[in-house]
Amino acid sequence: MPPKRLLDDCFLHDRDRLRHEEALALIAERIRPVAGVEEVALEAAHGRILAEPVAAPRNVPAFDNAAVDGYAFSARDVDPDAVTALPLGLRMSAGDPVGLALKAGTAARIFTGAPVPKGADTVIMQEDAVRSGDRVEIPAGVRQGANIRKAGEDLAEGEAVVEAGTRLRPQELAAVASTGCDRVVCRERLRVALVSTGDEVVRPGAVLRPGQVYDSNHYLLRGLLETVGAEIHDMGILPDDETVVREAVGRAAQSAHAIVTTGGASRGEADHIVSTISELGALHAWQLAIKPGRPLAFGQIGETVFLGFPGNPVAVFVCFLLYGRPLLAGLQGASWQAPRGFLVPAGFEIARKKPDRREFLRGWVEETADGPVARKFPRDGSGLISGLRAADGLIELPEEVTRIAPGDPVRYLPFSAFGVMPR
């Protein structure tokens, strides 16, 4: 039997209410990778989490080459203070053999990417030289070593190209490809069972009967889970039937790395998914000192993690960005960095804010005649999807802040810092 990677009760804590930073610290401390590893073709590796580091097996570039179209020569053969005419002795194109020698006192016609011939140490752009027949005039003042890409300039042999835990972006794929490597060892995609519950919930396309609501949170969470590269298993809408819920949750725990739902922190009699997690494993309702978003339900059945978000869509969205992303990153072995924000003058006023609670407002940055300012969505309801659509980021108000006046600096966190594409 493989060793356990998660503690039996990794979400247990002894605080009545967790502050934002305490919740993040607990997630970082307790969560370990549960996804396995597999070798992946480089063309299929975009968005995957690298499980083993990649090192350069050779210098990149492998040889000195021209950065421009022009003429290669030795700086010793030209007068630094006057125009020097040199006969042309070679013509070098990309793909030509490495190691060809340039005769002393001559220049080579050279094209971008071509190997720099032995004996040459400088390349001048063709626009800066004057060619006359089989001779080229080199102006005064050309810097020795100009316009040459040196061997190993980008990567030296043995140098780390990409570290384990990196989510592979196009630029990392290009770096790996430049070494000649065509396969990488990655974490498996995180398998997430996405659950909707409730007799009152129906999917779009169905006829809406009195008392029913459309399952908008499913699509919200599905899109958010795709930003972390999860493999999503839609379990549909489970009815308020204890037997059906128990069977479905038990099945999901056998195959999924995580089970995600909304409204999962409730203790109502009809919330059978909550009671099922408690019976089959462990469940904790985290009371968080934040707005919006409390409580969150964290639990596990074996090494399958359960994450129950509040039912209101704004709280779902905010809590996924703040806590769901780092938790899922840890489960798939991804390096996690807190989203980077920046300070912007407030373009709004809050006369009174509760102390000892961190708040995250929906907002955007607007350019004005006096510079950028942060604007907040005018309504604060957690059920208003319109606020999520209007916003481009979150405005973070720390616990110690009790009021905001126009012009006060506020921290703005663009949604793109959380992996959500901008408008």
Query: Percent of the chain having pLDDT more than 90?
Result: 83
- Residue 3: pLDDT band by 50, 70, 90 thresholds? low
Given this structure, which CATH class describes domain 20-36+189-331?
alpha beta
CB 107 within 8 A of CB 89: yes
37-57+164-187 in CATH: which number?
3.90.105.10
Interatomic CA distance for residues 115 and 106, integer angstroms: 16
Region 176-184: mean pLDDT is 96
What's the pLDDT at 174? 97
CB 116 within 8 A of CB 72: yes
Q: Where are the domains positioned within the chain? A: 20-36+189-331, 37-57+164-187, 65-149, 342-418
- Residue 270: pLDDT band by 50, 70, 90 thresholds? very low
What's the pLDDT at 206? 93
Classify residue 50 by its DSSP letter: B
CB 110 within 8 A of CB 70: yes
State pLDDT tens for residues 130-171.
Answer: 999 999 999 999 999 999 999 999 999 999 999 999 999 999
Region 98-122: mean pLDDT is 97
Q: Which of 180, 184, 146 is nearest to 60 (CA)?
A: 180
CA atoms within 13 A on the CB side of 133: 4
Torsion of CA 383, 386, 387, 391, to 10 degrees: 150
Region 294-307: mean pLDDT is 89
Classify residue 143 by its DSSP letter: P
Residue 269 has pLDDT above 50, yes or no: no
Pick one of 3.40.50.720, 2.30.30.60, 2.60.130.10, 2.40.340.10 as the CATH number of 342-418: 2.40.340.10
Could you confirm whether domain 65-149 is CATH 3.60.15.10? no
Interatomic CA distance for residues 224 and 189, integer angstroms: 15
What's the pLDDT at 397? 97
Least reliable range by pLDDT among 192-201, 214-223, 226-235, 288-297: 288-297
- Residue 15: pLDDT band by 50, 70, 90 thresholds? confident
**23-31: long-range contacts, CB 8 A cutoff, minimum separation 24:** 23/286, 23/288, 23/323, 24/322, 24/323, 24/326, 24/338, 27/323, 27/326, 27/327, 27/330, 28/326, 28/330, 28/336, 30/6, 31/6, 31/305, 31/326, 31/327, 31/330, 31/331
Region 330-358: mean pLDDT is 94
| Owner of token pair 């459309």 | 214
Region 8-29: mean pLDDT is 86
Task: List helix spans (H) across 179-271.
Answer: 216-226, 242-255
What's the pLDDT at 1? 45
Encoded amino acid at 21, one letter? E
Whole-number average pLDDT of the chain = 93
CB 220 within 8 A of CB 230: no
Residue 268 has pLDDT above 70, yes or no: no
State pLDDT tens for residues 372-406.
Answer: 999 999 998 888 999 999 999 999 999 999 999 99
Residue 265 has pLDDT above 60, yes or no: no
Three-state secondary structure of 318-367: HHHHHHHHHHHHHHCCCCCCCCCCEEEEECCCECCCCCCCEEEEEEEEEE
